[in-house]
Amino acid sequence: MKSIFHLAYNVRNLEDAREFYVNILGCKEGRSAATWIDLDFFGHQLSLHIGEPFLTKTTGKVGEHIVPMPHLGIILQYKDWKNLARKLEEKKTNFVIKPVLRFEGLPGEQYTMFFKDPFGNPIEAKGFNDLSKVFDS
């Protein structure tokens, strides 16, 4: 069964959220109200509400990296991932984990990067040369 996921979390300011999610990440804005906005987050529904962002800790061990938990992530074709990485680098994004290849030559080989939105919400972007390999073990 295929579906579109929906995730809702808090941000402190909707205008700053629009600037980051729409103008930098390229998400399309959907419905909105005075206290929330819906975004097309790479084909999924992300709802951002005014409030205090969730607490995160850098506790997730993945290969050689310790990553922020919890976090939101996207999986892209490599060329789209590379374009996003370039755009974030041009915007002088402060990466938690700079764009890197991990698990090279192994099942699950992927490019990854971690960054945070303006409110500290961590986001991971993965890039795969072949999306049919995402669940390989």
In this prediction, residue 63 has a pLDDT band, given cuts at 50, 70 and 90, of confident
pTM for this one? 0.93
Cα distances from 10 to residues 65, 86, 118, 119, in angstroms, run 26, 27, 11, 9
Take residue 26 and report the two structure tokens written for it.
Answer: 């390229």
In this prediction, residue 28 has a pLDDT band, given cuts at 50, 70 and 90, of very high
Is 90 exceeded by the pLDDT of residue 119?
Answer: yes
CATH superfamily for domain 57-133: 2,3-Dihydroxybiphenyl 1,2-Dioxygenase, domain 1 (3.10.180.10)
Is 90 exceeded by the pLDDT of residue 125?
Answer: yes
Half-sphere exposure of 32 (CA within 13 A, CB side): 15
d(CA 96, CA 116): 7
Place of tokens 């103008």: 23
Half-sphere exposure of 101 (CA within 13 A, CB side): 9
Is 90 exceeded by the pLDDT of residue 5?
Answer: yes
Show me where the domains of the chain are located: 6-50, 57-133
Report pLDDT for 137. 84
Report pLDDT for 123. 98
d(CA 29, CA 41): 9
Angle, CA 15 vertex, CA 48 and CA 98 arms, to 5°: 70
> Which helix (H) or strand (E) covers residue 67, if one does?
strand 65-69
- What CATH number belongs to 6-50? 3.10.180.10
Q: What is the pLDDT of residues 85-106, one digit of tens each?
A: 999 999 999 999 999 999 999 9
d(CA 107, CA 65): 17
Report pLDDT for 62. 87
Point out which residues pair with 27 in neighbouring strands.
none
In this prediction, residue 113 has a pLDDT band, given cuts at 50, 70 and 90, of very high
